[in-house]
Structure 1
Amino acid sequence: MAKFFDEINDKHREFIAAQRIFFTASAPLDAEGHVNLSPKGMDSFRVLSATKVAYMDINGSGNETSAHMLENGRVTMMFCAFDGPPNILRLYGKGYTVLPGHAEWKELSPLFNLPLSARQIIVADVHKVQTSCGFGIPYYDYKGERDQAIKWAENKGEEGIEKYQAEKNRISMDGLQTAMFDGS
């Protein structure tokens, strides 16, 4: 049975901290646009307060979440128990993107072990927390983090990453600007 809360309590915080993976979902306002659903790992999630969270976002082939944050801010983050008692926890919120060089970056970046592959931090103000049974979620064993994103970034170097982001991360698949768009 689903239960709703207005903020993240200590039990929620403990559950979130124990998870090795979470998922983010966002969507454009246009009904013809694509809903984005992304898995995240690498110890990249932080609970900042009872109503505020952030996660480090690494370089990828798209930047849909950032585009959706600029357009409408809607974001959902979901955590599932893949071991221990079954549980699903969703955080519903309004988010925004923080890029290196922004004032808030200086405050947030020390909270993460930022690899070269980190491109931005997504921050969300949470207005609803939902828990549900998770009875249908299978058990999985955690074997470790993948290192391909870190090796990819090291191989590209800073200049290569900047070029990649300019080509792949400034416009969403639906043609929306991301926070990385600079008009050029």
Structure 2
Amino acid sequence: MAKQFNHIHDDHRAFIEAQHIYFTGSAAPEGRVNISPKGMDSLAVLSPNRIIWLNLTGSGNETAGHLLQSDRMTLMWCAFTARPLILRAYGTARAVHHTDPDWAELCAHLPPHSGARQVFDMTVEMVQTSCGYAVPLFDHTGPRDTLTKWTDDKGPDGLRAYWLEKNTVTLDGAPTGIAHNLETPE
């Protein structure tokens, strides 16, 4: 039932853009594997082999730390309504920080979000679709505004302090790169 493709086809892109949630997966050569749910209109398909997404402030910063050690990345979308489908994009990625020269260019492709820590830039090497027959049906009732309110309340200086306190190392103690790349967020 699974099919592999060497790029994102138009129907894949339409499926990706219709989903309200996606999942990222990363791992360093040693230590814990990380899987994170994402949402909030924070992802863009730039081309058949390129996807970018905002890494919004959270309690950890595992993906950024993993990418410093191993650039492997997997993204996954599941259909929770209508036609059952799972789509995975496999490839390599890099973290782009506020101080990197291409930060503004990449952010221009995404809606602004307070609390954006990094942009992840992924080169897609393979896309796989599978049935998703066992994925349950869910109704989407809307996005949460909790993270936006929390980051707005913190303000740029509060976010910077939070990143330094909570986001400079992974669960396994590896650096995430954020400490060397901080500037006051916009």
Unaligned residue ranges in structure 1 (runs of 5+): none
Runs of 4+ aligned residues of structure 1 deviating over 4 Å after TM superposition are: none
1:13 aligns with 2:32: no
Pairing of 1:84-103 with structure 2 (within 5 A)? 84-103=82-101
Asked whether the equivalents of residues 96 and 123 of structure 1 are also in contact (C-alpha less than 8 Å), the reply is yes
Pairing of 1:135-150 with structure 2 (within 5 A)? 135-150=133-148
For 1:126, the equivalent position in structure 2 comes to 124
TM-score (norm 2): 0.95
- How many percent of aligned residue pairs carry the same amino acid? 45
How far off its partner does 1:101 sit? Answer: 2.4
For 2:54, the equivalent position in structure 1 comes to 56
**Aligned match of 2:109 in 108, 111, 130?**
111
Give the SS at the match of 1:182.
Answer: helix
Amino acid at match of 1:153: T
Amino acid at match of 1:18: A
**Aligned match of 2:64 in 43, 63, 66?**
66
CA RMSD, Structure 1 to Structure 2 (Å): 1.3
Give the SS at the match of 1:93.
Answer: strand
For 2:26, the equivalent position in structure 1 comes to 26
How far off its partner does 1:122 sit? Answer: 0.8
Aligned residue pairs total 182
Give the SS at the match of 1:111.
Answer: coil
Deviations 1:117-156 (A, max 9, x none): 2111111111110000000011101111111111111111
Distance in 1 (CA, whole Å) between partners of 2:179 and 2:99 is 14
Asked whether the equivalents of residues 93 and 127 of structure 1 are also in contact (C-alpha less than 8 Å), the reply is yes
Distance in 2 (CA, whole Å) between partners of 1:72 and 1:52 is 18
Distance in 1 (CA, whole Å) between partners of 2:136 and 2:38 is 18
**Aligned match of 1:171 in 159, 169, 172?**
169
How far off its partner does 1:84 sit? Answer: 1.2
Asked whether the equivalents of residues 171 and 181 of structure 1 are also in contact (C-alpha less than 8 Å), the reply is no
Distance in 1 (CA, whole Å) between partners of 2:55 and 2:180 is 19
Deviations 1:70-113 (A, max 9, x none): 11011100000011100000000111101112111121111112
Distance in 2 (CA, whole Å) between partners of 1:45 and 1:156 is 24
Amino acid at match of 2:127: V
TM-score (norm 1): 0.96
For 2:184, the equivalent position in structure 1 comes to none
Amino acid at match of 1:69: L
Distance in 1 (CA, whole Å) between partners of 2:22 and 2:179 is 27
